[in-house]
Amino acid sequence: MKKLPSEFQLLGVTVTVRQLPYDELQKKNRELVQRDGRDASTAQNVLGMYHYGTHTLYVVAKDLKRFTEEARLSVFHHELAHGLLHMAGRFDLSDDEALVDVLGNLIMQADKTAVYE
């Protein structure tokens, strides 16, 4: 995957991918955390997020200079892993950040090294 999709399907549900400037992403995260009634301490300095209620995957936009395209792809795949586990009904695993990190990196490696004939 060389660039991020604008949308994809998980179990027939369309997941929208939105790329937001860093400050806008922080604002959106705070808004969604407050709206969903979650712990506000989780709304700090995010580079991506998967919102289950709207099936939207957010990733920081290219405008963050110190953030490479490789890092953005890593964030996308991390958030994708959250979505996959959630859609599989494994909400407990979707909250396991260590597992989600590894799974996201594995998905990214498979994506990057895939050979099509």
User: pLDDT tens, 51-109?
Assistant: 999 999 999 987 767 778 888 999 999 999 999 999 999 999 998 999 999 999 999 99
CA angle 88, 59, 111 (to 5 degrees): 60
Give the domain extent around 70.
7-113
Q: What are the tokens at 48?
A: 């991506």
> Within a domain: residue 23?
yes
The domain tally of the chain equals 1
> Within a domain: residue 2?
no
Residue 36, pLDDT score: 75
Q: Are 61 and 20 in contact (CB under 8 A)?
A: yes
Q: How many Å apart are CA 101 and CA 36, to the nearest integer?
A: 23
Q: How many Å apart are CA 81 and CA 83, to the nearest integer?
A: 5
Q: How many Å apart are CA 18 and CA 109, to the nearest integer?
A: 22
Place 45 in a pLDDT band, splitting at 50, 70 and 90.
confident
Give the residue-averaged pLDDT of 31-53: 80
